[in-house]
């Protein structure tokens, strides 16, 4: 254990370190850190506050974990933290801030990859297998589903949801919820199609992939308004688990609404985002 910690590292004796933990040069580990077995911290890493790292997590050079939230309402001394699941990799200079509420946690799931210089803000929840590409900014309280991919230089407004296995293109401006299994791109981000490649990689059966494509056509290419499109999906598309998850996600739209079709697309109104109150306001 001692040989795996560089002599220039500063590790508080109260930190809890598992077996075979490796800590690089000039890295600082605070008293409330919990590092499970086989965790590796690169050089010049800062781990402050309540940070829990699962087994085989790898943290790249220059990362800062557990820093105070960039939130003017945050009160110093609030007991909150960061949790990162097993086998997740953070590359160089990633920042992950702790939550704002007492006993709250900013969470990143298992088997994820957060690429260099990306930022995960306070109170975010990232699922398992999430990929965040370089320079993306995930702002406060965002939720990203399992196996979703966030493109490089993407910006997201607070409280945005991204569904399971969705793909957000690079440099997208995400100011509405991204439906599961869909590809979005643009400024503002709009739905461009079904993430077929991601579905194949996730092992989604061909029949379910076809059902999602049928649902996409009804929601985004049929000219139907959102409520009628959902009704048609319920009536005409096989009720397999991915389609049901897509319906539930849209029905539970937040204040931002759901990403709509591109301007000039086929859905009624050609709005860049469906309003969150679409269910109630439809004629």
Task: Compute the mean pLDDT over every residue in the chain, rounded to the nearest whole number.
Answer: 93
Please write the tens of the pLDDT for every residue from 108-135: 999 999 999 999 999 999 999 999 999 9
What pLDDT was estimated at residue 265?
62
Residue 144 pairs with which residues in a beta bridge? 126, 162
- C-alpha R_g of the chain: 21
* pLDDT tier for residue 268 given thresholds of 50, 70 and 90: very low
pTM of the model: 0.93
The stretch 21-50 carries a mean pLDDT of 98
With 70 as the cut, is the pLDDT of residue 230 above it? yes
Q: Please give the angle made by the CA atoms of 141, 137 and 255, to the nearest 5 degrees.
A: 40
Q: Which residue has the higher pLDDT, 275 or 64?
A: 64
The stretch 209-216 carries a mean pLDDT of 98
What pLDDT was estimated at residue 3?
59
Which of 283, 268, 217, 226 has the alpha carbon at shortest distance from 249? 226
**How many other β-carbons are positioned within 10 Å of the β-carbon of residue 197?**
11
Which residue is associated with the tokens 């220039």? 8
With 90 as the cut, is the pLDDT of residue 21 above it? yes
The stretch 34-61 carries a mean pLDDT of 98
The residues that are catalytic are 122-123, 140
> Exposure of 277 by Cβ count < 10 A (0-12 exposed, 13-18 middle, 19+ buried)?
exposed
> Under a CB-based contact definition with an 8 Å cutoff, are residues 139 and 157 in contact?
yes
Q: Hey, is 249 helix, strand or coil?
A: helix
Alpha helices in the chain (DSSP H): 196-201, 206-216, 226-236, 241-251, 278-281
For the chain, what are the domain ranges? Answer: 2-141, 201-274
Strands 34-35 and 16-17: parallel
With 50 as the cut, is the pLDDT of residue 277 above it? no
Q: Is the bond preceding residue 199 a cis peptide, omega within 30 degrees?
A: no
| Domain 201-274 in the same topology as domain 2-141 | no
Please write the tens of the pLDDT for every residue from 159-212: 999 999 999 999 999 999 999 999 999 999 999 999 999 999 999 999 999 999
Which residue is associated with the tokens 């607070």? 158
With 80 as the cut, is the pLDDT of residue 274 above it? no
Read off the tokens for 55.
Answer: 């087994």
Top CATH class, 201-274: mainly alpha
> Under a CB-based contact definition with an 8 Å cutoff, are residues 222 and 233 in contact?
no
2-141 is a CATH 3.40.50.10790 domain: no
What pLDDT was estimated at residue 263?
83
What pLDDT was estimated at residue 276?
47
| Distances in whole angstroms, Cα of residue 96 to Cα of each of 45, 48, 111, 234, 238 | 12, 11, 16, 39, 40
The stretch 52-60 carries a mean pLDDT of 98
């Amino acid at each position: 254990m001692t040989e795996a910690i560089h002599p220039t590292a500063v590790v508080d004796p109260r930190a809890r370190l598992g077996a075979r933990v490796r800590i690089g040069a000039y890295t600082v580990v605070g008293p409330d850190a919990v590092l499970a077995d086989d965790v590796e911290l690169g050089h010049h890493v800062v781990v402050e506050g309540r940070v829990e790292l699962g087994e085989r997590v790898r943290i790249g050079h220059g990362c800062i974990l557990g820093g105070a939230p960039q939130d003017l309402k945050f009160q110093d001394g609030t007991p909150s933290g960061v949790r990162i699941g097993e086998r997740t990799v953070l590359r160089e200079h990633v920042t992950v801030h702790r939550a704002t509420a007492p006993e709250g946690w900013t969470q990143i799931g298992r088997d994820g990859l957060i690429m260099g210089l990306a930022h995960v803000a306070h109170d975010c929840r990232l699922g398992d297998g999430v990929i965040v590409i370089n320079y993306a900014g995930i702002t406060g309280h965002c939720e990203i589903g399992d196996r979703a991919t966030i493109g490089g230089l993407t910006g997201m407004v607070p409280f945005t949801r991204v569904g399971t296995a969705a793909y957000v293109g690079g440099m997208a401006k995400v100011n509405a919820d991204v439906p599961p299994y869909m590809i979005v791109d643009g400024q503002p981000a709009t739905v461009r199609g079904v993430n077929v490649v991601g579905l194949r990689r996730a092992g989604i059966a061909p029949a379910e992939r076809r059902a999602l494509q049928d649902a996409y056509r009804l929601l985004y290419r049929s000219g139907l308004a959102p409520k009628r499109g959902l009704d048609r999906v319920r009536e005409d598309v096989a009720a397999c688990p991915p389609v049901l998850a897509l319906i539930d996600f849209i029905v539970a739209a937040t204040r931002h609404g759901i990403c709509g079709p591109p301007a000039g697309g086929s859905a009624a109104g050609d709005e860049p985002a469906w309003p969150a109150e679409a269910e109630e306001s439809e004629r």
